[in-house]
């Protein structure tokens, strides 16, 4: 009996009136966990009942604790008829299962009903006493931490990055046909919510087990998705990166955590060897192999031609691994071998991370992606007939005996795709894939599975446990040129996987670099970027005949390669139009509908200093005979050239002139001016040819500059830059802006447009789609105009085709204001970068900043926290010089040397900062102190509602994350049968999304947190039936609940504590 | 390509003050868009009309959703659905409960009933305030009235506590509730020159001095029936006012009073002779007003009577305000020297308030 769950129902407020006669409600609460139910007394005639119940105790397996949500149902007591449900609260108690996270869940939760939405709130307290698990054959994985964040969470240190973990669970969908059904809408919605909650709990537990097998203790970059396959069922799948993380904390933060006896017990299973499970005999379990033994004959799948399977078996594969010896000298080979051996133990050397600990990412090859079109059929699953009671009837070990091939089919599908990705990466001379993600698009019985990532070469440093050769590591460090290493090609120059223009790196001039670089990862923090970045989108529609089953799948498969090709052409053209040479955070989404396919690619364009300057775009007319046509062409050409020039100015792209001799490029490069106009159509032709014949497009370091249709050119030029004061990107950070202020606004915007069936041509569609996206962006800029200057970060577009002529675009992003002061910005940027450098260079220094950010003790004394950026810029003398160099660096050599200076300076600053507290004392005004006191009050205490910030980013500007409280993963269904009365579709969805935000915030606040980072709305499926006055929506969101402390507060504390209090280490207090 | 659905939801609810004002003023989305276009916002921001339309719709939807909460402002503070910074919450509430001078003058003192609500159409045409806005304002009055009507304690405090209004606005609402409860006539033609502020000022004085709460009896006797202490006039006090009649009924007393006032003011008033001739009329008027207050009907006509019996005679003789003040002061004080008069405290309670009111009411 490994756990005791305790629940107390305190009170309710703002309950709806359930008894029309008295205008009051006789409310009571049912508390259910697993098969056990408790009830509170009925609190008569009140809309604000005070139950103050006893502690309801559930004695349960930790396995159940992981899988099951706590269900709280509020009902209205009725003597004569059945009790009416007011609403429910589902509480995921997972955050209570590992140490360091929350110790108690306590607060006001919105009472949610799938028909009426939020109906009042209920105050609940939940605790868990976890006992030491003696069962060696356990199925639970309590203690494994999950993070949605796709980088090593702040306040943790990666000891080992074990690699890819994945799992999927399938089930019957209890109610997929929502419009006409037998059960009441409420019953079916709730059945569905409950099921998905259970399935995701189970999935998480299984992933956790895999992590334990790999000897890890955490999953980073955890991405869980639902495939609503309709008739064929429901698939919940997840991927992530298994890691062993170390909490960076001073003892002061840890001691108080043991205050309660329950806490102590909870910690013990975690503090021991992270893998007490003797069952995992090796890193690769037989189980895993089992999972991937798929039989292709079984599935009615059609392999998309976008990724040719042959490829992975042909010499290309051999090239990737075999060419290791001849690539880049003996050192490279050694490095490669070592890393390879580390990675080859793993079936899929994938990381879902998009940002990496310093030194991990060595080279980036380019984007690899694979798609496949599959036909769905019913998931026969006898074990799942009894949905609720029996979900765990197949355990991890039961895969063999499991009497259904279906989950395996789904698994096999993904295995196939992953295999493909792996071989693509090999072809690029890379042994790993980073920034890896998977997605699906389903329409009727056709499903497109997509996977993409960035082929990369990683340093073995984090990949193996303690086996790393120190000297080698040292050499890696030495050999990595500052800020450009990752751009250097990982493949063999003489045996390139695709044609690309290679030049010597413009930064270090030693290694070769490609002319453009596409990646799915975030911009590495040490990358040298010129100017600012911008959001670049490629948008595309293709009509498709309506068809059934296999014919449909064939049609889609045939369209896919053309779509991908065009998307890439657009991306490349737009990138050139912006005068930039690299894309980060690339995400290509292909959506399938009844009669069309939509492609939407988003990425952040930047100008990498290491890469050559991009060529221009030249328009070549097809019929040069006509004079006026010629004129038109030249007019267009001029327009394009003007746009490029304007963009360069807008994004401050002014790379230094580099003389050819210094570069020593083997490829004769024309001078800058002529390069702008240079046509590269020949090369693009080559690419096209190669693309089609070899199907090698996935490794798309392509160079396409031709624009053969006028419409394409027009569409290029219709993209209007954001109004002044606005920047946008889809990555975590915007290159060139670092002086964020603390104001953030996360938002979701949804638009659905109906296409008139008259103008359904490809071109009209494209135009419509383009207009839709552009208008949406314009609306966002307008709405957020009061925040300028600001940057829209992590702009995430999702397209779906809910019906024949409907296009739905959902955008989630965060607007962050920044300081206009440019001088401050550049110095600060430098300071931050150099800080990074400094911390990698010097181990003892490393401890400093990291300890600070792990510091969950508000009153804990640490003066250096905020000080370094400040003191760096306020340090007289040197910073002024820096400012000068940073504003106009005349050459890279200068810049590098100034960096080294900065590193030295930085190191000093940090040391000084830890001793010198007087600098900031004067800043600690009494008002700041007051602010802090307010803030440190528990968010749910008192009457006012505490502010919970939400952001898709992994950080909060101007604040330090001091504690991760656990993953938030919530699924909601909302339905209405009175659509008009609720303000139509817009009113309905607006309310629902606001409610979802509210419920996320409430859960975070109840965990003791004040923010959600890495927030993502993974699904927003909206269906309407206006003729019946009905609509339904499903939303799935996730993120990491955290506690953050404002840097200004930290400063106050750090300066005050030493002065007032002489024993700063003992004042630790865990904020709960 | 038509937009079926178009929404924007921020983690922090975006409030555009300008759009909020347009919404409060009862403009339709299209009118609001047109007004915004006219304000030149398109030129300033480079936005298109479509963007503006979508933005306005979105704000209107948000306000519509917030309206339910604004009906009970403490709910707005405790609700979880909209994350709104406290300063913004205060702004939302304050603006929502703010009313138009023109509108309040129309309904001040009227019964806040369905009947009055039906007249809103006319009020809307008359004042040029949209019907929607009229409805909101009327419903606000009614809502506040209903909540505090039966409540013990200070009217202003009650309003502030239940509607979280600023002090200024809470006082205004107290006046509105007080007027509605006592049904003071304010709509007569001869009262048109008076502003809401004039009435509110009088209401405050009356609440302070003429209600049960003013006497401070309630705390000592919580079980009594004096529930709405601040809303109802002190019946006993009104009954007692009859006693003042002796001041005009007893000819000697009246003459003595007159001579006392005249002696004191001789040479100090620019309108002394007019005062002297009019003294008995004015005094009779003021005392009769007091004596009549036992009847509800006459209570309602209080302001009409005050204007007819005092303000208008003085105004027709062109009394300057300073003279009115001097006269009223002396008129009140002199009573203390009337040996035969026993109701000094009653007189002070009556005249103290009335003097304040009259001075406020005395303007063009």
Indicate the burial class of A679 (C-beta count within 10 angstroms; 0-12, 13-18, 19 or more): middle
Output the pLDDT for position A140: 64
What residues of A are in contact with residue B12 (Cβ under 8 Å)?
A: 745
- A294, A412 Cβ separation under 8 angstroms: yes
- What is the torsion angle, in degrees rounded to the nearest 10, for the CA atoms of residue A256, residue A258, residue A260 and residue A264? 170
Residues facing residue A598 across a β-bridge: A541, A591
Output the pLDDT for position A238: 93
- A852, A865 Cβ separation under 8 angstroms: yes
Output the pLDDT for position A849: 35
CA distances A940 to A90, A769, A929, A930, Å, are: 18, 44, 21, 19
Output the pLDDT for position B69: 92
Give residue-wise pLDDT tens across range A722-736.
888 888 999 888 877
Give residue-wise pLDDT tens across range A44-82.
888 999 999 999 999 887 778 888 889 999 999 887 777
| A110, A780, A990 member nearest B9 (Cβ) | A990
Distance from C-alpha of A306 to C-alpha of A421, rounded to nearest angstrom: 12
pLDDT band at A705; cut points 50, 70, 90: very low
Question: The tokens of A536 are what?
Answer: 């670049």
Q: Is A830 a residue whose pLDDT tops 80?
A: no
- Contact assignment for A745 to B85 by CB distance below 8 Å: no
Output the pLDDT for position A473: 44
Start-end of H helices in A589-680: 627-650, 660-663, 672-677
Q: Is A649 a residue whose pLDDT tops 60?
A: yes
Comparing A12-21, A230-239, A488-497, the range with the smallest average pLDDT is A488-497
pLDDT band at A758; cut points 50, 70, 90: low
- A543, A595 Cβ separation under 8 angstroms: yes
DSSP string computed for A907-927: HHHHHHHHH--HHHHTT--HH
Comparing A131-140, A844-853, A1019-1028, B73-82, the range with the smallest average pLDDT is A844-853
- Contact assignment for A1022 to B5 by CB distance below 8 Å: yes
Distance from C-alpha of A892 to C-alpha of A897, rounded to nearest angstrom: 8
Listed by number, the residues of chain A in 987-1026 with a beta carbon closer than 8 Å to a beta carbon of chain B are 987, 989-991, 993-995, 997-998, 1001-1002, 1022, 1024
- Does B67 lie at the interface with A, CB-CB under 8 angstroms? no
Q: Is A426 a residue whose pLDDT tops 80?
A: yes
Question: The tokens of A405 are what?
Answer: 């091939």
Please tell me the distance in Å from B54's CA to the nearest CA on chain A: 8
- Contact assignment for B6 to A755 by CB distance below 8 Å: no
- Contact assignment for B81 to A110 by CB distance below 8 Å: yes
Output the pLDDT for position A823: 39
- Does B197 lie at the interface with A, CB-CB under 8 angstroms? no
- Say which residue, A650 or A260, is predicted with more confidence: A650
Interface test with A, best of B2, B3, B7 (most A CBs within 10 A): B7
- Contact assignment for B12 to A748 by CB distance below 8 Å: no
pLDDT band at A938; cut points 50, 70, 90: very low
Distance from C-alpha of B93 to C-alpha of A1012, rounded to nearest angstrom: 29
Question: The tokens of B91 are what?
Answer: 């702004």
Instruction: Encode burial over B346-359: b for 16+ CB neighbours within 10 A, e otherwise.
Output: bbbbbbebbbbbbe
Output the pLDDT for position A189: 84
Q: Which of A482-491, A657-666, A1032-1041, B220-229 has the highest mean pLDDT?
A: A1032-1041
Listed by number, the residues of chain A in 225-264 with a beta carbon closer than 8 Å to a beta carbon of chain B are none
Q: What is the mean pLDDT of residues A445-458?
A: 89
- Does B219 lie at the interface with A, CB-CB under 8 angstroms? no
- Contact assignment for A989 to B81 by CB distance below 8 Å: no
Output the pLDDT for position B73: 93
Give residue-wise pLDDT tens across range A309-335.
333 333 333 333 333 333 334 444 455
pLDDT band at A339; cut points 50, 70, 90: low
Output the pLDDT for position A576: 86
Output the pLDDT for position A75: 93
Q: Is A32 a residue whose pLDDT tops 60?
A: yes
What residues of B are in contact with residue A990 (Cβ under 8 Å)?
A: 7, 9, 58, 61-62, 65
Q: What is the mean pLDDT of residues A1046-1066?
A: 53
- A192, A973 Cβ separation under 8 angstroms: yes
Which is nearest to A694 in space by CA: A301, A312, A324, A302?
A312
Output the pLDDT for position A781: 92
Q: What is the mean pLDDT of residues A885-907?
A: 34
CA distances A887 to A528, A646, A789, A825, B115, Å, are: 14, 20, 20, 10, 73
Instruction: Encode burial over A903-919: b for 16+ CB neighbours within 10 A, e otherwise.
Output: bebbbebbebbbeebee
CB pairs under 8 A between A and B: 133
Distance from C-alpha of A379 to C-alpha of A405, rounded to nearest angstrom: 9
What sign does the dihedral A423-A425-A428-A431 (CA atoms) show? negative
Please tell me the distance in Å from A252's CA to the nearest CA on chain B: 34
Instruction: List phi, psi (to 5°) of A1032.
Output: -145, 150
- B300, B184 Cβ separation under 8 angstroms: yes
Distance from C-alpha of A337 to C-alpha of A229, rounded to nearest angstrom: 42
Indicate the burial class of A167 (C-beta count within 10 angstroms; 0-12, 13-18, 19 or more): buried
- How many CB atoms neighbour CB A701 within 10 A? 23
| B4, B77, B78 member nearest A752 (Cβ) | B4
The count of residues in chain B is 364
Q: Which of A214-218, A845-849, B52-56 has the highest mean pLDDT?
A: B52-56
Cβ contacts of residue A218 below 8 Å, gap of 6+? A144, A145, A146, A147, A156, A211, A242, A243, A244, A245
Distance from C-alpha of B42 to C-alpha of B37, rounded to nearest angstrom: 6
- Say which residue, A476 or A244, is predicted with more confidence: A244
Distance from C-alpha of A1065 to C-alpha of A174, rounded to nearest angstrom: 55
Distance from C-alpha of B331 to C-alpha of B209, rounded to nearest angstrom: 19
- A784, A815 Cβ separation under 8 angstroms: yes
- Does A108 lie at the interface with B, CB-CB under 8 angstroms? yes
Residues facing residue A589 across a β-bridge: A600
Q: What is the mean pLDDT of residues A998-1009?
A: 93
Cβ contacts of residue B339 below 8 Å, gap of 6+? none
Distance from C-alpha of A995 to C-alpha of A987, rounded to nearest angstrom: 12
- A156, A371 Cβ separation under 8 angstroms: no
- Say which residue, A667 or A781, is predicted with more confidence: A781
Output the pLDDT for position A1046: 86
Question: The tokens of A1010 are what?
Answer: 């004040």
Q: In what order do the strands lie in the sheet with A806-818?
A: A726-728, A790-800, A806-818, A740-754, B2-10
Question: The tokens of B294 are what?
Answer: 């036992």
| A723, A949, A995 member nearest B46 (Cβ) | A723
- Say which residue, A919 or B302, is predicted with more confidence: B302
- Contact assignment for A745 to B6 by CB distance below 8 Å: no
DSSP letter assigned to residue B311: I
* Closest residue on chain B to A946 (Cα): B83
Output the pLDDT for position A935: 35
Which is nearest to A465 in space by CA: A163, A854, A842?
A163
Which is nearest to A834 in space by CA: A862, A863, A869?
A869
Output the pLDDT for position B165: 94
| A950, A987, A998 member nearest B80 (Cβ) | A998
* Closest residue on chain A to B41 (Cα): A782
Q: What is the mean pLDDT of chain A?
A: 70
Task: Identify the residue whose tokens are 């940073």.
Answer: A886
Which is nearest to A883 in space by CA: A891, A872, A893?
A872
The separation between CA A342 and the C-alpha centre of its own chain, rounded to angstroms, equals 26
- Contact assignment for B11 to A782 by CB distance below 8 Å: no
- Does A986 lie at the interface with B, CB-CB under 8 angstroms? yes
Strands A726-728 and A790-800: parallel
Question: The tokens of B282 are what?
Answer: 């004015």
Output the pLDDT for position A466: 52
Distance from C-alpha of A198 to C-alpha of A232, rounded to nearest angstrom: 19
- Does B2 lie at the interface with A, CB-CB under 8 angstroms? yes
CA distances A614 to A514, A534, A579, A646, A895, Å, are: 11, 16, 6, 15, 22
Strands A582-592 and A517-518: parallel
Q: Is A114 a residue whose pLDDT tops 80?
A: yes
Output the pLDDT for position B20: 95
Q: In what order do the strands lie in the sheet with A582-592?
A: A517-518, A582-592, A596-608, A529-543
Please tell me the distance in Å from A243's CA to the nearest CA on chain B: 32
- Does B17 lie at the interface with A, CB-CB under 8 angstroms? no
Give residue-wise pLDDT tens across range A969-995.
999 999 998 888 888 899 999 999 999
Q: Is A262 a residue whose pLDDT tops 90?
A: no
Comparing A52-56, A504-508, A648-652, the range with the smallest average pLDDT is A504-508
- Does A983 lie at the interface with B, CB-CB under 8 angstroms? yes
- Contact assignment for B65 to A949 by CB distance below 8 Å: no
- A677, A616 Cβ separation under 8 angstroms: yes
pLDDT band at A94; cut points 50, 70, 90: confident
Output the pLDDT for position A345: 58
- Contact assignment for B78 to A944 by CB distance below 8 Å: yes
Residue percentage of chain A with pLDDT more than 90: 21
**pLDDT per residue as tens, chain B (364 positions):** 567 899 999 999 999 999 999 999 999 999 999 999 999 888 888 888 889 999 999 999 999 999 999 999 998 988 899 999 999 999 999 999 999 999 999 888 888 887 777 789 999 999 999 999 999 999 999 999 999 888 888 889 999 999 999 999 999 999 999 999 888 988 888 889 999 999 999 999 998 888 877 665 544 444 444 445 677 888 888 888 888 888 888 888 888 888 999 988 888 888 888 888 888 888 888 888 888 888 888 888 899 999 998 999 888 988 899 989 999 999 988 888 888 788 888 888 898 899 999 999 998 7
Give residue-wise pLDDT tens across range A356-387.
888 888 888 889 989 988 888 654 443 333 33
Start-end of H helices in A488-577: 549-577
Output the pLDDT for position A471: 42
Whether the bond into A789 is cis, omega within 30 of 0 = yes
Which is nearest to B13 in space by CA: B58, B71, B72?
B58
Please tell me the distance in Å from B10's CA to the nearest CA on chain A: 4
Cβ contacts of residue B157 below 8 Å, gap of 6+? none
- Contact assignment for A995 to B81 by CB distance below 8 Å: yes
Complex ipTM value: 0.88
- Say which residue, A585 or A908, is predicted with more confidence: A585
Output the pLDDT for position A340: 53
CA distances B127 to B5, B124, B187, B359, Å, are: 37, 5, 14, 28
Output the pLDDT for position A872: 37
Output the pLDDT for position A490: 79
Q: Supply angle C-alpha A456, A459, A465, rounded to 5.
A: 125
Output the pLDDT for position A132: 62
């Amino acid at each position: 009996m490994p756990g005791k769950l305790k629940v107390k129902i305190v009170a309710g407020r703002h309950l709806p009136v359930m008894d029309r006669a008295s205008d009051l409600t006789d409310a009571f609460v049912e508390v259910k966990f697993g098969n056990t139910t408790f009830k509170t007394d009925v609190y008569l005639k009140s809309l604000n009942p005070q139950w103050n119940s006893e502690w309801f105790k559930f004695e349960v397996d930790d396995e159940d604790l992981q899988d099951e949500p706590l269900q709280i149902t509020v009902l209205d007591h009725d003597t004569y008829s059945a009790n009416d449900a007011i609403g429910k609260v589902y509480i995921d108690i997972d955050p209570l299962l590992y140490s360091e996270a929350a110790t108690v869940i306590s607060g006001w939760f919105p009472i949610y009903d799938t028909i009426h939405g939020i109906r009042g709130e209920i105050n609940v307290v939940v605790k868990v006493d976890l006992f030491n698990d003696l069962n060696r054959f356990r199925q639970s994985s309590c203690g494994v931490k999950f993070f949605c964040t796709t980088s090593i969470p702040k306040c943790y240190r990666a000891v080992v990055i074990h690699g890819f973990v994945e799992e999927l669970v399938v089930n019957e969908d209890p109610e997929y046909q929502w419009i006409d059904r037998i059960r009441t809408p409420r019953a079916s919605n709730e059945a569905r919510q409950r099921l998905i909650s259970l399935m995701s709990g189970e999935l998480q537990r299984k992933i956790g087990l895999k992590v334990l097998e790999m000897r890890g203790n955490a999953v980073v970059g955890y991405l869980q998705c639902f495939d609503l396959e309709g008739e064929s069922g429901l698939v919940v799948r997840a991927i992530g990166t298994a890691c062993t993380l170390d909490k960076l904390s001073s003892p002061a933060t840890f001691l108080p955590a043991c205050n309660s006896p329950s806490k102590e017990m909870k910690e013990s299973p975690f503090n021991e060897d992270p893998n007490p499970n003797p069952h995992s005999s090796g890193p690769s379990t037989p189980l895993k192999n089992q999972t991937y033994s798929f039989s292709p004959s079984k599935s009615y799948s059609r392999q998309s031609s976008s990724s040719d399977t042959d490829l992975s078996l042909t010499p290309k594969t051999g090239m990737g691994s075999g060419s290791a010896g001849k690539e880049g000298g003996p050192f490279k080979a050694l490095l490669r071998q070592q890393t390879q051996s580390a990675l080859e133990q793993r079936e899929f050397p994938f990381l879902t991370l998009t940002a990496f600990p310093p030194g991990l990412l060595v080279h980036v090859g380019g984007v690899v992606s694979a798609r496949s079109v599959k036909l769905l059929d019913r998931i026969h699953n006898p074990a799942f007939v009894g949905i609720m009671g029996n979900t765990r009837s197949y355990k991890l070990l039961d895969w063999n005996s499991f009497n259904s091939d279906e989950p395996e089919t789904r698994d096999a599908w993904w295995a196939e795709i992953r295999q493909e990705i792996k071989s693509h990466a090999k072809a690029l001379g890379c042994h790993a894939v980073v920034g890896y993600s998977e997605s699906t698009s389903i329409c009727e019985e056709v499903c497109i599975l997509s996977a993409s990532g960035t082929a990369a070469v990683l340093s073995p440093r984090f990949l193996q446990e303690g086996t790393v050769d120190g000297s080698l590591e040292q050499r890696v460090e030495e050999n990595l040129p500052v800020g450009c290493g990752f751009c250097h090609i990982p493949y063999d120059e003489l045996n390139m996987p695709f044609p690309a223009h290679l030049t010597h790196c413009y930064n270090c001039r030693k290694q070769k670099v490609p002319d453009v670089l596409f990646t799915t990862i975030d911009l590495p923090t040490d990358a040298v970027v010129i100017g600012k970045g911008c959001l670049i989108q490629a948008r595309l529609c293709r009509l498709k005949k309506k068809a059934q089953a296999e014919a449909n799948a064939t049609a889609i498969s045939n369209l896919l390669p053309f779509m991908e090709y065009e998307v890439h052409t657009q991306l490349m053209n737009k990138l050139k139009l912006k005068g930039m040479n690299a894309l980060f955070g690339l995400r290509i989404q292909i959506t399938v509908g009844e009669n069309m396919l939509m492609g939407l690619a988003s990425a952040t364009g930047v100008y990498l200093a290491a890469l050559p300057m991009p060529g221009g775009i030249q328009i070549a007319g097809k019929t040069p005979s006509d004079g006026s046509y010629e004129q038109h062409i030249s007019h267009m050409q001029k327009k394009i050239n003007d746009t490029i020039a304007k963009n360069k100015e807008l994004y401050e792209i002014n790379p230094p002139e580099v003389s050819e001799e210094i570069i020593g490029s083997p490829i004769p490069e024309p001078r800058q001016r002529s390069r702008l106009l240079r046509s590269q159509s020949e090369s693009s032709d080559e690419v096209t040819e190669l693309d089609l014949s070899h199907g090698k497009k996935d490794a798309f370091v392509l160079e396409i500059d031709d624009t053969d249709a006028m419409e394409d050119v027009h569409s290029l030029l219709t993209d209007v830059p954001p109004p002044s004061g606005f920047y946008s990107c889809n990555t975590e950070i915007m290159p060139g802006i670092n002086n964020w202020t603390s104001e953030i606004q996360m938002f979701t915007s949804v638009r659905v447009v109906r296409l008139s069936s008259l103008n359904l041509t490809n071109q009209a569609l494209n135009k419509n789609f383009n207009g839709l996206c552009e208008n949406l962006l314009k609306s966002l800029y307008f709405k957020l105009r009061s925040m300028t200057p600001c940057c829209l970060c992590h702009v995430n577009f999702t397209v779906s085709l809910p019906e024949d002529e409907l296009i739905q675009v959902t955008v989630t992003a965060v607007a962050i204001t920044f300081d206009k002061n440019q001088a401050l910005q550049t110095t600060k940027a430098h300071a931050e970068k150099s800080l990074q450098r400094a911390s990698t260079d010097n181990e003892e220094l490393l401890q400093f900043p990291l300890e600070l950010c792990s510091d969950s003790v508000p009153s804990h004394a640490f003066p250096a926290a905020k000080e370094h950026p400040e003191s760096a810029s306020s340090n007289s003398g040197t910073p002024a010089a820096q400012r000068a160099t940073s504003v106009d660096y005349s050459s890279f050599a200068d810049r590098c040397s100034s960096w080294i200076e900065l590193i030295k300076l930085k190191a000093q600053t940090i040391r000084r900062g830890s001793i010198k507290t007087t600098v900031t004392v004067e800043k600690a005004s009494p008002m700041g102190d007051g602010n802090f006191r307010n803030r440190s009050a528990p968010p749910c205490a008192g009457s006012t509602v505490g502010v919970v910030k939400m952001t898709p980013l992994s950080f909060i500007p101007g604040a330090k994350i001091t504690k991760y409280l656990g993953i938030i993963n919530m699924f909601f269904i909302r339905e209405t049968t009175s659509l008009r009365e609720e303000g139509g579709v817009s009113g309905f969805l607006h309310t629902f999304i606001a409610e979802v935000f509210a419920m996320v915030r409430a859960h975070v606040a109840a965990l003791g947190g004040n923010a959600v980072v890495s927030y993502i709305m993974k699904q927003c499926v909206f269906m309407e039936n206006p003729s019946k006055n009905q609509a339904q929506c499903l939303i799935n969101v996730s993120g990491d609940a955290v506690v953050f402390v404002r840097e200004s507060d930290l400063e106050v504390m750090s300066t005050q504590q030493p002065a007032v209090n002489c024993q700063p280490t003992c004042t630790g207090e865990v904020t709960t | 390509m038509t937009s079926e659905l178009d929404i924007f939801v921020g983690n922090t609810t975006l409030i555009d003050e300008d759009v909020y004002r347009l919404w409060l003023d009862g403009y339709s989305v299209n009118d609001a868009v047109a007004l915004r276009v006219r304000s030149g916002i398109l030129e300033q921001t480079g936005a298109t009309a479509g963007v503006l339309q979508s933005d306005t719709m979105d704000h209107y939807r948000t306000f519509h959703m917030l309206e339910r909460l604004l009906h009970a402002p403490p709910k707005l503070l405790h609700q979880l659905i909209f994350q709104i910074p406290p300063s913004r919450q205060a702004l939302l509430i304050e603006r929502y409960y703010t009313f138009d001078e023109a509108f309040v003058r129309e309904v001040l003192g009227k019964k806040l009933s369905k009947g009055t609500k039906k007249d809103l159409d006319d009020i809307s045409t008359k004042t040029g305030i949209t019907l929607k806005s009229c409805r909101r304002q009327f419903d606000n009055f009614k809502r506040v009235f209903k909540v505090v009507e039966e409540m013990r304690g200070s009217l202003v405090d009650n309003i502030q506590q239940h509607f979280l209004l600023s002090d200024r606005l809470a006082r205004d609402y107290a006046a509105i509730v007080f007027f509605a409860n006592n049904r003071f006539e304010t709509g007569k033609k001869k009262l048109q020159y008076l502003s809401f502020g004039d009435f509110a000022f009088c209401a405050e004085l009356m609440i302070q001095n003429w209600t049960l709460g003013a006497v401070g009896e309630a705390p000592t006797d919580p079980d009594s029936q004096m529930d709405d202490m601040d809303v109802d006039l002190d019946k006993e006090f009104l009954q007692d006012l009859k006693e003042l009649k002796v001041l005009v009924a007893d000819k000697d007393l009246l003459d003595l009073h007159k001579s006392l006032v005249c002696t004191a003011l001789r040479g100090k008033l620019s309108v002394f002779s007019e005062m002297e001739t009019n003294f008995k009329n004015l005094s009779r008027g003021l005392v009769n007003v007091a004596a009549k207050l036992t009847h509800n009907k006459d209570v309602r006509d209080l302001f009409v009577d005050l204007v007819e019996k005092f303000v208008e005679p003085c105004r027709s003789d062109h009394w300057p305000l300073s003279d009115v003040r001097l006269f009223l002061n002396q008129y009140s004080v002199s009573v203390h020297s009337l040996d035969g008069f026993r109701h000094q405290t009653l007189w002070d309670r009556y005249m103290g308030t009335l003097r304040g009111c009259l001075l406020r009411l005395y303007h063009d």
